[in-house]
Amino acid sequence: MIKLSSPSLGIDEYRAVERVLRSGQLVHGEECELFEQELARYLDCKEVIIVSSGTAALHLALVALGIGVGDAVLVPDFTFPATVNVVELVGARPILVDVDLHTYNITPENIQAAIDNWQGTEKVKAIMPVHEFGCPANMTEIMTIAKKHNLLVIEDAACGLGATHQGKKVGTFGQAGCFSFHPRKAITTGEGGAIVTNDAELAAKLRIWRNHGMRKAEQGIEFVLPGFNYRLTNFQAAMGRAQLVKFDGWLQVRSKLQQLYRQELAKTELLLPNELVGHAWQTFMVVLPQHVERSSVIARLKEMGIEASLGAQAVHCQPYYQQKYSEMCRMHQKNNAERLYIHGLALPHCQDYSIRDIQFVSQKIREILK
């Protein structure tokens, strides 16, 4: 079976984890601190706070930035729902924003329209752009809008490690950027995530919130906030460090494989994603013609030994949000996010796949679409 994705784990990762296990220092420790320093150098930012998951990173960023009850946050309608769930968890109101059909990202035009049309009682306080599947959002214009309206920007870069916008790494434009190290991501620590920022005061606050609200004191420790246990383990960090040194090479392979997909699928009815400069290609998703039923394509590919799946969700189609925000969800019916949710097809894509693998997958898709 050609899986949708597969984590790249080899002797370097095994040795790194074994080294930590033999040391007995399993919880947050030196490997975590080194991983933070190396990520900061890679991203060219001042502070990195590693945490237990990408969702924990998003949640912690909102909490530390003071977003909560009475606030509203602009979020893309097409995303893994964790982006929106964390807004709910802090008591704020999500405002769904439609995405571009070719980049899968929210657009500056749609963000501005959402701000102009907002009539709720909550105050719009932040924008959470997602770099969907590693495609860099237009951060230059998003930051201009944020500055104009005095809004915070929290980048959901869960899929975006290595992606750039105008030469600058995504995740480093806003007040905070959040990354994921889930096994579907190009770098994995099993579960894991990171918050990046250039604000030293915010970073200090994030570290306290991450670790039970605890800080060092003359008599040992004291608890100054009702914090969380969002720490990453030392052996997970060691795995991440072993992968980070290979990461740029992996990005090059992913880029070459997506180019091959384009060549192989160019003459089909599929809608292909935009090939933006700086794309990290965490996922390669195509959009099926509207008359083709995705479930049947997935089933036929499975029979041929190929795993495929939907790409991400349209938040307005999810039961929780339909029930709580019925009017907003009705307004978003039949938008781009819904089309991508219903007809998007994620194809096998990772640095360990060969040219022959991609050609085989492409050939079978062409056969199905005939």
Q: Tokens for 147? A: 């500055």
- 273-296, pLDDT tens digit by residue? 999 999 999 999 999 999 999 999
pLDDT digits (tens, 9 = 90+) for 240-263: 999 999 999 999 999 999 999 999
Q: Provide the percentage of residues in the chain whose pLDDT is more than 70.
A: 100
**185 in catalytic set:** yes
Tell me the domain boundaries of the chain: 11-241, 247-369
Q: Which of 65, 331, 89, 101 is nearest to 177 (CA)?
A: 65
User: Whose structure tokens read 């104009």?
Assistant: 148
Q: What is the pLDDT of residues 153-194, one digit of tens each?
A: 999 999 999 999 999 999 999 999 999 999 999 899 999 999
Q: How confident is the model at residue 219 (pLDDT cuts 50, 70, 90)?
A: confident
Whole-model pTM above 0.95? yes
Q: What is the pLDDT of residues 4-61, one digit of tens each?
A: 999 999 999 999 999 999 999 999 999 999 999 999 999 999 999 999 999 999 999 9
Residues 96, 316 contacting (CB under 8 angstroms): yes
pLDDT over 90 (residue 214): yes
**Is residue 212 exposed (0-12), middle (13-18) or buried (19+ Cβ within 10 Å)?**
middle
Which DSSP string do the residues of 50-109 spell out, in sequence order? EES-HHHHHHHHHHHTT--TTEEEEEESEE-THHHHHHHHTT-EEEEE-B-TTT-SB-HH
Asked if residue 137 lies in contact with residue 165, where contact means CB atoms within 8 angstroms, the answer is yes
CA distance 115 to 60: 25
Q: How far is CA 41 from the centre of its chain?
A: 20
| pLDDT tens track for 296-329 | 999 999 999 999 999 999 999 999 999 999 999 9
Phi, psi of 48 (to 5 degrees): -130, 130
CA angle 62, 68, 73 (to 5 degrees): 70
Which residue among the candidates 123, 125, 147, 185 is catalytic per the annotation?
185
Quick one: CATH architecture of 11-241?
A: 3-Layer(aba) Sandwich (3.40)
**Domain 247-369 CATH assignment equals 3.90.1150.10:** yes
